[in-house]
Structure 1
């Protein structure tokens, strides 16, 4: 029996809306992986990304569900509430991306395959991915702190969830930078790449600190104030990069304002530069929203380690 005199297993892991959402995540992920393996297929880099996303999320959800059902998470040196909502938010973003990419690159309206079997499998995979997205989104909604509610974990707040989105967008920026963006041609664009890397590292450090329950380890200021200071610094850095990058990529003096018609789709440096510019403005908006929200943020960690 557990210390509270209840059953050894955590029945809330099954008999609760949150438990039902996690079971739906496992079912959708397992179905998507099985269908792809059985006959739908997922060739090429886009298919490999989708398959990796589904496998990663399934493994992560299975581990979290097991730890929650057996109460073994109490033995881990982590803040469980912060860890689970962070994983759910990350999985939601991965599933959203896979739910867009897979049908876009693998599902066709007509039926070019023998007996339409492959197409039907791919439609089923897309449906499972959408259901998984909904299931992870429901978990985020169930765990998210409500206005006027006592906040027990930073990652359950809008500011914490925005940190996950910011890191995810930064990863897409890194992919665009690596896809022939030619950012090393100018010192100014190298500076922008350094800004993206520094802000991602700082955001990841804040998230990791929160998940490890070390929010009281900062002695010079409260953690929520540290979050505001870091977010302001990141917003200012992204503001500078959002100005510098377009100038040195699209001004005729340094780059090209128009796309070269001879460039193939997916292999043109201009496309990568546009993607980086657009995502820079998106992350700038996310950091600005984060800064506005976190001004009045007050929370107490659900578990603080000595």
Structure 2
């Protein structure tokens, strides 16, 4: 008699087990190979290895919870949690793969070191693929959960956090803002807005549509986070390029003026490039926050208009 997936363990834990083992192996080996290259002093390398460690740790915790059958005792949807972390880790893993690959593969001459850098990058892409498969599997596997379909504001709020995740590896290089209070303020802006976004995600959910729109638990938090982030990013979008590229304020207006960018031993993305990337991403994220705020305003006016219209349609009370 042929063995089916339903014999022994059910298919859900089996599929999850194989995905989790792949995630653990790919992130662990990526970290080990990256660490063996001796690039601990490089801020981008440290960030990449931190991401691999974080993904490994979360996949390990998830595996322990499922093996012990603890998910049924948690006060939230386990499928929703798996969807959220797999989706986010898939994004940050692909960003990490691109940053590490473009920054470090070409640094080493052909040989064992370059091969380790290539393998670490490839396995990081494998981890991205495994997280993407888990997202799809959570959606299509049998169960009570319907696949999450993000609304337009849900997409905006995810994008805000994703752009912040791309900014962080570049500002991990303290040479970009050391001894400049205005630039330290910008780093504070990126950090506090990201933290507020995560808190809002945990409190109000992922702003998804299944069969119906999910109500926000604390709409005030969403308003405070969005408006506050717009104001903070508005300061960063002015201060960051001003102090990074204005010569009178200690900046370097051209790439050629940064001697580290002409060093053949440096990474592909030199310090001046990192400054430019952060400036561009800051402007893009400000536009996303503004779009989010405009949507909230229009939604509030729409709800108010619907309420007034419904009141006007009510029959008048007899005198």
Please say whether Structure 1 and Structure 2 have the same fold, judged by a TM-score greater than 0.5.
yes
**Deviations along 1:52-97, whole A, 9 cap, x unmatched?**
4333312311321342354302323455345333322332233213
- 5+ residue gaps, structure 2, are 1-5, 140-145, 206-215, 301-319
SS at match of 1:42: coil
**Matching residue of 1:278:** 280
SS at match of 1:90: helix
**Matching residue of 1:172:** 169
**Matching residue of 2:155:** 158
CA distance in 2, matches of 1:98, 1:279: 16
| Alignment equivalent of 1:245, drawn from 240, 251, 254 | 240
CA distance in 1, matches of 2:218, 2:34: 50
CA distance in 1, matches of 2:178, 2:35: 36
Q: Are residues 1:128 and 2:126 paired?
A: no
CA distance in 1, matches of 2:35, 2:187: 38
Q: 1:138-153, aligned counterparts within 5 Å?
A: 138-140=133-135
**Matching residue of 2:306:** none
CA distance in 2, matches of 1:75, 1:62: 18
- 5+ residue gaps, structure 1, are 1-5, 212-220, 298-306
Q: Does structure 1 retain, via aligned residues, the 8 Å contact 2:24–2:59? A: no
Deviation at 1:44, TM superposition (A): 0.5
- Would you say how many aligned residue pairs link Structure 1 and Structure 2? 269
CA distance in 2, matches of 1:23, 1:160: 31
CA distance in 2, matches of 1:25, 1:184: 43
| Alignment equivalent of 1:258, drawn from 254, 268, 284 | 254
TM normalised by structure 1 equals 0.65
Q: Which has the larger radius of gyration?
A: 2
Q: 1:212-227, aligned counterparts within 5 Å?
A: 222-224=217-219, 226-227=221-222
Distance 1:105 1:273, change over 3 A: closer
Distance 1:251 1:207, change over 3 A: same
Distance 1:223 1:13, change over 3 A: farther
Q: Does structure 2 retain, via aligned residues, the 8 Å contact 1:183–1:193? A: no
Return the structure number with greater relative CO, CA threshold 8 A, min gap 6: 1
Deviation at 1:27, TM superposition (A): 1.5
CA RMSD of aligned residues (A): 4.5
**Matching residue of 1:96:** 94
**Deviations along 1:245-301, whole A, 9 cap, x unmatched?**
32344334434423463521369875554343123113223424544676769xxxx
TM normalised by structure 2 equals 0.63
